[in-house]
């Protein structure tokens, strides 16, 4: 991973930024003011900014309505939200990766996985934001408690045994059905919002993250960066981000955006 300062020569060609939220915009569970200011500054500089998170649809709907961003992707690519203005009023709309029928078919299977994990893994518990989720089940592995690697592995084995896919962030282990991920939803958003084909111009967008559930973004976007705490997962990421900040969490995100804006 190269220092984030080396992003400067690429800055003028960038059109936008896709970024994770937990431990990328936040630090110790709290949104870093400098990171939020960086979101706003990037937008004012003409960059399209889209947070892409494992957090629930209920969070994303609020963030899309209130943050200075183009859209918000939730549940690791399962759904996105965007705000628009019409007739002097503000509206927020959703776009699901899978149709209603597929989501309905997945729900009882997810419920069965949830019941199995909670019954068989002694310290397993649902994420506190589960009630706001529409497409996945999230287990708390690092938000209000810290599970050992073997406990997380056990949860993921049981998710796989239930036929579902899984991914992990610093705070949650997710179970879901569907072929979506953060990068795939970014591609769909770019086509629908900006009439752009990211497959041909993906090097014009920066992806910033910190953990394994950002792997799809690190792999898809050649211009990718991690905040400093991504180093804890360096051995697991294939590939890791191309660049890395010196500061952790939202402080690192602010560092990355500052580097880009100074070079534009």
For the chain (length 264 residues), average pLDDT per consecutive 10?
96 98 96 98 97 98 96 98 80 92 97 98 98 98 97 98 97 97 98 96 98 97 98 92 98 98 95
Q: Tell me the C-alpha to C-alpha distance, in Å, between residue 168 and each of 9, 12, 44, 151, 193.
A: 33, 33, 33, 12, 28
Angstrom distance (rounded) from CA 231 to CA 97? 31
Terminal C-alpha separation, the chain: 23
47: which 2 tokens?
A: 């960059």
DSSP-based three-state secondary structure for 144: coil
Domains by residue range for the chain, with CATH: 2-97+180-263 (3.40.50.1000), 101-176 (3.90.1070)
State residue 84's pLDDT score: 79
State residue 92's pLDDT score: 85
71-74 and 79-86 beta bridge pairing: antiparallel
CA atoms within a 13 Å half-sphere pointing along the CA-CB vector of 188: 21
State residue 24's pLDDT score: 98
Asked if 168 and 63 touch (Cβ cutoff 8 Å), the reply is: no
Angstrom distance (rounded) from CA 118 to CA 111? 11
DSSP string, 214-243: GHHHHHH-SSEEE-GGGGGGTTT-SSPPSE
Sign of CA dihedral 109, 113, 118, 120: positive
Angstrom distance (rounded) from CA 238 to CA 105? 32
């Amino acid at each position: 991973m190269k220092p984030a300062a080396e992003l400067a020569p690429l800055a003028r060609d960038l059109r936008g930024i896709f970024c994770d939220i937990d431990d990328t915009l936040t630090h110790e569970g709290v949104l870093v003011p400098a990171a939020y200011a960086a979101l706003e500054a990037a937008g004012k500089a003409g960059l399209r900014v889209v947070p892409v998170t494992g957090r629930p649809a209920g969070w994303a709907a609020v963030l899309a309505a209130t943050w200075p961003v183009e859209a918000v992707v939730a549940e690791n690519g399962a759904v996105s939200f965007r705000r628009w203005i019409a007739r002097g009023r503000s509206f927020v709309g959703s776009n699901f990766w899978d149709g209603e029928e597929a989501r309905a078919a997945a729900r009882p299977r997810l419920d069965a996985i949830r019941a199995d994990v909670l019954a068989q893994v002694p310290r397993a518990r649902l994420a506190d934001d589960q009630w706001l989720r529409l497409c996945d089940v999230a287990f708390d592995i690092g938000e209000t408690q810290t599970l050992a690697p073997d406990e997380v592995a056990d949860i993921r084995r049981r998710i796989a045994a239930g036929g579902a896919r899984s991914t992990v962030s610093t705070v949650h282990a997710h179970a879901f059905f569907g072929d979506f991920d953060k990068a795939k939803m970014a591609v769909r958003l770019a086509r629908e919002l900006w009439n752009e084909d990211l497959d041909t111009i993906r090097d014009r967008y920066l992806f910033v993250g910190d953990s394994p559930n950002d792997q799809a973004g690190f792999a898809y976007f050649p211009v990718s960066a991690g905040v400093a705490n991504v180093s804890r997962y360096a051995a697991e990421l294939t590939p890791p981000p191309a660049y890395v900040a010196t500061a952790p969490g939202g402080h690192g995100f602010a560092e990355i955006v500052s580097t880009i804006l100074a070079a534009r």
